[in-house]
Amino acid sequence: MFCRYNYKFIDAVNEFSAMTNLTLEGCYCPKGTTLLSSSSNKCVPTCELCHLKNGKWTKANESWTEDCKECICEEHTLQVTCRNMSCPTLPPLSCDQEGQVKVPETAGCCPKEKCECNVKLCPPVPSCAPGSTLHTTMGVCCFKYSCTVKPDVCVFNNCEYQVGHTVPVNPCEKCVCTNQTDDSNTVQIACQRIPCDTHCPLGYEYQNVPGQCCGKCVQTSCVVTLQNNSTHTLKPGTIWTPPGNPCLKFECVKISNQFITVEAKTICPFFDPSECIPGTETIAPDGCCRVCIPKGHPCNVSTTAVYMESQGCRSKERVNVTSCSGACGTSTFYSAKMKSLQHTCSCCQEVATSEREVQLSCPNNTELTYTYIHIDACGCLKTECSTFGHSNIANTKSSINSRRRRR
């Protein structure tokens, strides 16, 4: 006998029932078991079972998992019923660490996710600013980096300087890296300005130089040293006569940034007072030589070559300046009518003049047009005789037209 039907539904008593207890010659299953089928040599303890595809069997109401499905041997139909396996709801997975990525996990029948490391997503190694050092710690997937300030280090222009070392902050200052720190724990740099020597020799002035720490001494005047070792400064374009020495003149000339002192000494001609008309002896206008009106010299125009000067400006060449000099008739006689001495006096004066112009050069590179009076003719003109003193000399003032133009 072999199992083919479910005894629960096929358990009839008929004329063949006696054959169940009949023993015939042949092969039998052990007591308490039954042959699975006529084509099978397997003995099973019961016929309440399900046949499987692989030729095996399983008891009714037994369940198992196969191909990610939940299967059960149905008790009433002895058929295998399978359904998709139910998976539990998993909590959300957070992969928020640097270098972590979320990947599916294929182990088992239910889909799962897990966090894995992808080093390609790790940040690059940073470079720390001067004055700080790099610290490295290991995270979940990637290294963690941090920059910390170095102790006892000053930073200037992206360069590090140890405490006590000189820092080239400014050419006009001496700066040193100190061990003092500010509120951010940064080492400070202390600076002290370098003193400049502003003392200059005579004739020089201290002037600042753009872009440099200290200035320099620049010559601005000529220096005149006399025989008594006394000194005097002259600006370019000026003439100076030492006190007590009217025959000596010094002039400062500037040529191509060179200051040149020109010394001019006047040599007076021989002077014989006996050759002079009495009372006409005097000192020349420059204060150097003695002059007079010589005897027998008639009133006439005299010419003297001098440099014209006005308002600090000077002519480039000597200019012929005219004057009237010479003897004129003078007499004294007794007047019976007036019962006193009568005096007749005449003076050598200009009788014809004209205006002339000359260009004067100024120290500031400008020119001044100077107008002066030129004597064209002289003559003896009657004048009042004075009892005491010398005859008065008529002075005519020159006029100046200030018309400047840049050279």
Domain ranges of the chain: 34-84, 132-193, 204-265, 297-334+341-383
Helical H runs in 166-311? none
**CA distance linking residue 161 with residue 176, whole number of Å:** 9
Residue the block writes with tokens 């012929």: 320
Note the Cα 73 to chain centre separation in Å.
Answer: 92
Predicted pLDDT at 187: 76
Tell me the pLDDT tens digit for each residue of 205-232. Answer: 999 988 888 889 999 999 999 888 899 9
Instruction: Give the pLDDT score at 28.
Output: 77
Which H helix or E strand runs over 206? strand 204-207
Could you say which residues of the chain have pLDDT below 70? Answer: 1-24, 36-40, 185, 386-407
Residues 64-121: tens digit of each pLDDT: 888 888 899 988 888 888 888 888 888 888 888 888 999 988 777 888 888 999 989 8
One-letter identity of residue 382? K
Nearest to 47 by CA among 38, 39, 30, 35: 35
Give CA 184 to chain center in angstroms: 26
**Can you give the pLDDT at residue 9?**
46
Beta strands 143-149 and 132-138: pairing type?
antiparallel
CATH code of the domain occupying 34-84: 2.10.70
Q: Would you state the pLDDT for residue 21?
A: 67
What is the identity of the amino acid at 172?
Answer: C
According to CATH, the topology of domain 297-334+341-383 is Cystine Knot Cytokines, subunit B (2.10.90)
Instruction: Tell me how far apart the terminal alpha carbons of the chain are, to the nearest angstrom.
Output: 147
Among 388, 338, 396, smallest CA distance to 372 is for: 396
